[in-house]
Structure 1
């Protein structure tokens, strides 16, 4: 019913093919080297586009924080991973989440356009709404001055 497999022959073929590659195990808890490489390529590309050193430093810092949390190959990162990263700290302002989201969207759209990844995991992530701030009301003294004028 099942086909017979020549185990020795298969091992030899596999050994021959794998001998052409350098394979290194990624330990749990480490940032995947693939993601680090992709971040460096992205920063280099943006440097050539003429972005300011300040912007490049911010991009690198934000992407490094993301890589420290996610710890996966770039092509294995999902929308859920990005959402988890953006929502992990409930005490940050919406403007900070918007900045983080913007950097990640830029990075992953660049990876997709350069064909390093097949699908951009940030396409379904929408920018958070602006925080609504109540207008500052006039004090009693200011109201009285306004009434008298």
Structure 2
């Protein structure tokens, strides 16, 4: 491996401290950069400042040959462009070879979401008579009730929840705070887990854990752990339901808009900086409205 460890570590610290990127996002950037470093090693390029636009073009060609999606390639280009911008700022390199690279156009796919009948199947999976089942149910209910990200869910502390007001303090991207309400189903699931299951899991660890969600050892549950739990729930539900943990966030937004919520409110609840990010869900609702119209209008 090319000796760029120090530069890479400095960049990752920059992302976490100055840019306030989450640990998950930082890890994704690191993986993308390390993949590029492996390519440089194969090409016999030993210094970051020796990379040219031609080298970058060869790298992108190899990504296409390995069937990376346009979305994945765009993310890698963005990460490497940012990395070289940082190196240029630190005077480690003189030029950014990724400046002239245009990002591949992403295919506009509607976000995947669940219908209410599919959601009901998910909510019936967990055995709420067990501590872990109570925890899993609370996670599922809270993600759907609030639309928060999995990483935001993992970072919830007991002090972030106001049970009397049924509101949650969320630390989003860039450490931005927002308050999100939750309903009765989430309230009951969280209360049961907090007062029963969590208390049974905590003694398995010797630490004073303030996190709401803990693992089977009584330690704070990570975002990766939550994704594993959700994937396991989905597998137990039905083989024909193909969703990702992020689909619950899509489902929250879609159902809110379908039920008449205004887009600005949904934007605030999701923690989107730009309204254009929230607007992707209008495509889903328009498709749904068209489907209802075509199925029910006598002269459709």
Same fold (TM over 0.5): yes
TM-score, normalised to structure 1's length? 0.65
Match of 1:84 among 33, 58, 63: 58
Whole-angstrom distance in 1 between the partners of 2:22 and 2:49: 28
Whole-angstrom distance in 2 between the partners of 1:44 and 1:144: 54
Match of 2:90 among 114, 127, 131: 114
Whole-angstrom distance in 2 between the partners of 1:129 and 1:147: 40
Alignment of 1:45-60 (within 5 A): 45-49=14-18, 50-60=20-30
Matched-pair contact (CA < 8 Å) for 1:77–1:121? yes
Say how many residue pairs are matched: 117
Kindly state the Cα deviation for residue 143 of structure 1 after the two structures are TM-superposed. Answer: 4.5
Alignment of 1:1-149 (within 5 A): 31-33=1-3, 35-49=4-18, 50-71=20-41, 72=45, 73-90=47-64, 91-131=67-107, 143=294, 145-148=296-299
Matched-pair contact (CA < 8 Å) for 1:63–1:104? yes
Kindly state the Cα deviation for residue 85 of structure 1 after the two structures are TM-superposed. Answer: 1.8
Q: Which runs of 4+ in 1 moved over 6 A?
A: none
Higher Cα Rg: structure 1 or 2?
1
For residues 12-62 of structure 1, what are the alpha-carbon distances to aligned partners after superposition, in whole Å with 9 as ceiling and x for unaligned?
A: xxxxxxxxxxxxxxxxxxx221x2322122112222212211111111111
Matched-pair contact (CA < 8 Å) for 2:63–2:73? no
TM-score, normalised to structure 2's length? 0.35
